């Protein structure tokens, strides 16, 4: 394989040498095909390490049902509600308690819609291709969030038991 020029810059000859060396190894092309057609994390998984991993834990959690956001983009909300859920169970001295994700999601969507409405009113005099307008309209009611958004929603609108707002 050729080496780089004395200046350290990659030149056409060096790059051609790299390409030639790569193509000379059938295994390289096989790997290239695999990682361009499949998730690289799945392909790179070392099954020996997975098989050796211990699945026994030293900390046992209370036995209470799980909540599943099912890839809905609401993990931030479920995490926050589950944090409150544990303490609420203890305060109420009940084995099972769950907050309504639908209730919090309703208020999240209402607050987001109001924000967008107010922003559109504020930017109504701008052209449609204005960067701020384009940003506002790109994905006005996304699902993602974070802790501060969750706290703001709960401070303003509270929470509700799951069995009241399923």
CA distance 69 to 89: 20
Q: Let me know if 75 is a catalytic residue.
A: yes
H or E stretch covering 150: helix 147-157
Q: Give the pLDDT confidence score for residue 92 in this predicted structure.
A: 92
* pLDDT classification of 20: cutoffs 50, 70, 90: very high
Which are the contacts of 130, defined by CB distance < 8 A and separation ≥ 6? 123
What SS3 state is found at 86? helix
From the list 16, 24, 35, 75, the catalytic residue is 75
Global confidence as pTM: 0.58
pLDDT in tens, 66-94: 777 777 778 888 888 988 988 898 899 98
| Residue labelled with tokens 């509600």 | 81
Pull the structure tokens for residue 26: 């059938």
């Amino acid at each position: 394989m050729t080496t780089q020029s004395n200046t350290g810059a990659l030149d056409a000859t060096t790059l051609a040498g790299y390409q030639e060396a790569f193509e000379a190894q059938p295994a390289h092309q096989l790997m290239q095909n695999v990682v361009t057609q499949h998730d690289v994390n799945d392909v790179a998984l070392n099954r020996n390490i997975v098989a050796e991993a211990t699945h026994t834990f030293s900390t046992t959690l209370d036995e209470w049902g799980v909540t599943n956001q099912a890839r809905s983009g609401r993990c931030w909300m479920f995490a926050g509600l589950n944090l409150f859920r544990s303490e609420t169970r203890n305060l109420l001295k009940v084995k099972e308690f769950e907050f309504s994700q639908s209730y919090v999601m309703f208020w999240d969507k209402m607050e987001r819609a109001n924000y967008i409405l107010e922003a559109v009113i504020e930017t109504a005099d701008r052209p449609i291709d204005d960067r701020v307008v384009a940003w506002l309209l790109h994905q006005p009611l996304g699902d993602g969030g974070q802790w501060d958004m969750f706290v703001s929603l709960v401070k303003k609108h509270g929470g509700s038991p799951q069995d009241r707002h399923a």
